[in-house]
Amino acid sequence: MPIHQSARDNKDAQALQRQARDEMSNKVILLVEDNPDDELLTLRALKKSGVSNEVVVAHDGVEALDYLFASGTYAGRDPAVKPQLILLDLKLPRVDGLEVLKRLRSDERTRRLPVVILTSSNEQRDMLDGYGLGANSYVRKPVDFEQFINAVEQLRLYWLVLNEAPPD
């Protein structure tokens, strides 16, 4: 009898893992990145680390804000569908990453969204400003691709698997 129960428990565990994976893959990740090489690198690292979520890419701060607030080119988008995670570069055209973060945190609809600053900036001021404006995490992009994949895998494990988002 314990053998059958153990097999059933294993099937239940596998079903729960599939359900969690399906739920995660239905969630959107917003990548805010203006550099095409860094965009490609990040998308490849996400894929290589097993992320199956849809990734929406905004190429500047205005596009990111339009997506998040369903305005401009994203005016038809349902604003109730929020990204599970925002990966935010700082050095962006039109509206920089810190200003995007400031606007997110000042609006009730977006203030609790998890924001990871993913940047190549080594400036301590950027880190202090980012955390001061409410970033949840600050990650410097490693130069080496294997290190970058490892960093993305750690982000995936924490933000998409372990972390429990606040209720809507």
Q: What is the C-alpha separation between 164 and 160, in angstroms, rounded?
A: 9
In a domain, 17, yes or no: no
Per the structure, how many domains does the chain have?
1
Q: What is the C-alpha separation between 56 and 154, in angstroms, rounded?
A: 20
The mean predicted confidence, pLDDT, of the chain is: 85
Choose the most confident range, by mean pLDDT, from 1-10, 19-28, 86-95. 86-95
Left, alpha or beta for 138 (phi > 0: left; psi -120 to 50: alpha)? beta
- Please give the average per-residue pLDDT across 92-105, as a whole number: 96
* pLDDT surpassing 50 at residue 87: yes
Continuous H helices in the chain: 2-25, 36-48, 61-68, 97-105, 124-132, 145-155
b/e string for 72-92 if b means 16 or more Cβ within 10 A?
Answer: eebeeeeeeebbbbbbbbbeb
- The per-residue pLDDT for 24 is 46
CA 4 remoteness from chain centre:
40
Tens-place pLDDT, residues 106-138: 999 999 999 999 998 889 999 999 999 999 999
In a domain, 88, yes or no: yes
Tens-place pLDDT, residues 136-148: 999 998 778 888 8
In a domain, 14, yes or no: no
Query: The tokens of 107 are what?
Result: 């609006």
- Please give the average per-residue pLDDT across 148-164, as a whole number: 86
Left, alpha or beta for 72 (phi > 0: left; psi -120 to 50: alpha)? left
Q: What is the C-alpha separation between 108 and 150, in angstroms, rounded?
A: 33
- The per-residue pLDDT for 8 is 57
Task: Give the angle subtended at the CA of 119 by the CAs of 67 and 158, to the nearest 5°.
Answer: 75
- The per-residue pLDDT for 52 is 87
Tens-place pLDDT, residues 22-53: 444 468 999 999 999 999 989 998 998 888 88
- The per-residue pLDDT for 19 is 46
Least confident residue range of 10-19, 34-43, 144-153:
10-19
- The per-residue pLDDT for 89 is 96
In a domain, 15, yes or no: no
Q: What is the C-alpha separation between 68 and 5, in angstroms, rounded?
A: 46
- Please give the average per-residue pLDDT across 56-69, as a whole number: 97
CATH code of the domain containing 122: 3.40.50.2300
More confident call, 145 vs 57: 57
C-alpha distances (whole Å) from 71 to each of 25, 36, 77, 92, 146 are 25, 24, 8, 19, 37
Q: Within 10 A of 156 (CB to CB), how many other CB atoms are there?
A: 20
In a domain, 57, yes or no: yes
In a domain, 138, yes or no: yes
Query: The tokens of 38 are what?
Result: 């860094």
In a domain, 63, yes or no: yes
In a domain, 67, yes or no: yes
Give the range of the structural domain holding residue 45, as residue numbers without chain letter.
27-162
